[in-house]
Amino acid sequence: MNSVNSTLIIILFAVTIIHPQNQLDEQLTKAEALYRNEEYFNSITELKRLIFFDSSKRYSYTANELIGECYEKGAKFTDALNYFARAEIAATNTDEIYNCRINTVKINILRRTTGRALSLLNALDKEPRFNGKKEEINYWKGWAYIFSDEWDKASDQFRRISKQNELGRFCDSIDNQKYSVTEAKILSFFIPGAGQIYTGNYLSGILSLGWNILWGYTTITAFQANRIFDGIMVAEFLWLRFYNGSNQNAEKFAIDKNLEISNNALIYLQNVYKGEKP
């Protein structure tokens, strides 16, 4: 009789342990399915329930990390950072720690806090336990530079992975398309309108050159005719105005063109590039 009772007690004890465990497994599976279906809010709700009932903290890393990813997908970056930090505290191995930090890096890239992203990546690069992650660290450094509009530096990081790296070639092509703001200003300084023509704004450049020639000629003619006051007035209020306007327009056009090139490049990477993205 005693042996029977002992067996029953053992069975009941096992059921009380296994049954809740099965429920937690099912809850995690449900949360993961919701995440895959892009039902991020519902997934977060299930994961927070899982954390509440997980007295053993067995799912702490997995649940917090997935909540962070849900918040990231919803562009709630501050909340995402909070849960990635919680996941890192609960991490039980190097890979889990690395995964949390890379997720934090990605958010900083998306927020364009490039300095913070690069600081985190440089710290990872210096840690011996992450020596096997060098290529991936360089990869995310490249993306950080892309989002900070430094395409030449991005190319350098990608080419450290491979000289023929696809993203390295792409970054080079974007960098080559961009206009030098300094060159546009220098051209306009020596030849009014040349900076606009350099950036492809031909009509603006030709008009600027024409107005500068007209008012320059008018100013010189006035001085030659001893109409000093007229010459000063034309030079100060017309010629210099159009000359300075030409320089300012050259700078503005170069900046605007570069912004357009960068935005188109980001749209291409978002819609066409098949590799991993922030």
- Residues 105-122 have pLDDT tens digits of 999 999 999 999 999 999
**Whether 224 and 104 share a structural domain:** no
pTM for the whole thing?
A: 0.79
175: amino acid identity, one letter: D
Residue 55: DSSP 8-state: T
Structural domain harbouring 193:
181-268
**Whether 133 and 227 share a structural domain:** no
Domain final residue pick, 126, 147, 168: 147
> In 135-248, at which residue ranges do the beta strands (DSSP E only) sit?
none
Question: For residue 49, is pLDDT > 70?
Answer: yes
Quote the distance between the C-alpha of residue 247 and its chain's center: 32
Domain-embedded: residue 8 = no
> Average pLDDT for residues 8-36, to the nearest whole number?
68
For the chain, the domain total comes to 2
Q: What is the mean pLDDT of the chain?
A: 83
pLDDT score, position 78: 94
Lowest pLDDT segment from 77-81, 181-185, 230-234, 259-263? 230-234
Question: For residue 19, is pLDDT > 60?
Answer: no
From 166, 163, 146, 164, select the one nearest 154 (Cα to Cα).
146
More confident residue, 190 or 205: 190
